[in-house]
Amino acid sequence: MEWNNDPVFQMAQRQFDDVAEVMNLDKNVANRLREPDRAVLITVPVRMDDNRVQVFDAYRVQHNDTRGPYKGGVRYSPHVTLGEVAALSMWMTWKCSLMNLPLGGGKGGIRIDPTKHSRLELQRLTRRYTSELVGFIGPNQDIPAPDMGTNDQIMAWMMDTYSQLKGYAVPGVVTGKPISIGGSLGRTEATGRGVVFTVIEAAKVLNMTLGSQTKVAIQGFGNVGSHAAASLHEMGCKITHISDISGGYANTKGFDIPKVFEYIKANGSLKNFKDAEPISQIDVLTAPVDVVIPAATERQIDDKVAAQLKCRILAEGANGPTTTEGDKVLKERQNEVFVIPDVLANAGGVTVSYFEWVQGLQNFFWSADEINEQLSKLMTKAFMEVCDVQKRHKVYMRTAAQILGIERVAKAMLARGLYP
């Protein structure tokens, strides 16, 4: 398949192969889990505002549904590839299993820069993409969610299109929707908040105190990075290094995070923010801080960056931010840098998406306090389970997290058997 030539998918497969070897995983199960169940390749024609018709490449990859319906985001990015989406769908399978959710892994994407298109163009794009997928998604089949470049409005258009084609409202077809049409309280903040819950647990393991003396660097100030920053700022931590689409920025005294939010809302990015010194994206990752949260895109931490990390905790808010070569260095530096792998650190988003799905199926909605309490409980439980596996097998934290996730999927596959 085309995805086998993609470096991101190759990285996901190498991770899986290494873990399967450590686990002595059944070869038949391993051969099946190395590849996604299904990939839907779509060309999406969209009428532009100037009446031209432009065609965009789009994908939906479904990795494994042994434990439940496929679940995963839809990203709009000019860099989306089939291999990237396939890798993300595989990681989502391990993530759902790690959190012990009755869901499997899926992912979707459209190769487009959403910042260069009008609201109407994005609406037409989303509706056509959804209509092409109507036979492959659904509340008991595959449940999309927001991801990079998408938001609750995109999910509202997906839900409405699917419902129009079915002839009745189907709020459970997507998660991350607006509250007014069945969305869940706490979903927007969930991934960033989940990262912080794992940082709190890691600090306990390391006997660190999180407070005014704690310095934090966050690469990427989108949904994940910004909400992680808000939570850590409320705890009294100093966010001293930040980056967004315009570059990296430092403030050794600590950023006033509410002021940062206001500036970005007014200007679109941190460019020319007066209370900051411009630095590079690499400088953000290698800053002399206690906690680094890579919350941007894949493959940011290679072997050179990994060797320069000065943090005590690396909490991977993004999916696949560390390359295979970077991982080798971090394995050697386990006593210096405590890694909270992506499948654990950023699992808060899919966990609250699961809560939203359950609430939609029951038509019974929870309070924000209930959601945050349950999220904290599940994130803490998963963290402790991964630490237990890490101690038992004496392996790297990423390996431990994937052992736990893969093991549950493998047991379910063996119990169900092979059809026909």
Strand order in the sheet with 277-279: 277-279, 247-250, 238-244, 215-219, 291-294, 313-315, 338-340
Backbone dihedral angles phi then psi of residue 349, each to the nearest 5 degrees:
-65, -50
Q: Identity (one letter) of the amino acid at 390?
A: Q
Q: Please, which contacts does 329-334 make with residues 24 or more away whose CB atoms are closer than 8 Å?
A: 329/303, 330/301, 330/306, 330/396, 331/396, 333/306, 333/307, 333/309, 334/396, 334/397
User: Contact at 8 Å (CB) between 49 and 121?
Assistant: yes
Q: Is 107 a catalytic residue?
A: yes
What is the rounded CA–CA span in Å between residue 78 and residue 279? 25
The radius of gyration of the chain's CA atoms, rounded to the nearest angstrom, is: 21
Interatomic CA distance for residues 110 and 56, integer angstroms: 7
Strand order in the sheet with 53-64: 38-47, 53-64, 104-111, 70-77, 142-146
Residues in the chain: 420
List the catalytic residue out of 95, 107, 177, 215: 107
First-to-last CA distance in the chain? 24
Residue 420 structure tokens: 């026909």
CB-based contacts of 142, cutoff 8 Å, min separation 6: 60, 62, 65, 69, 70, 71, 106, 136
CA-to-CA distance for 414 and 406, rounded, in angstroms?
12
Q: Which amino acid would we find at residue 98?
A: L
Question: How is 97-113 classified by DSSP, letter by letter?
Answer: HHTT-S-EEEEEEEE--
Please give the DSSP secondary-structure letter assigned to residue 270. -
Cα–Cα nearest to 152, from 110, 186, 197, 107: 186
Q: Residues 6 or more apart from 168 whose CB is under 8 A from it?
A: none
> CB–CB of 315/345 below 8 Å?
yes
Positions marked catalytic = 107
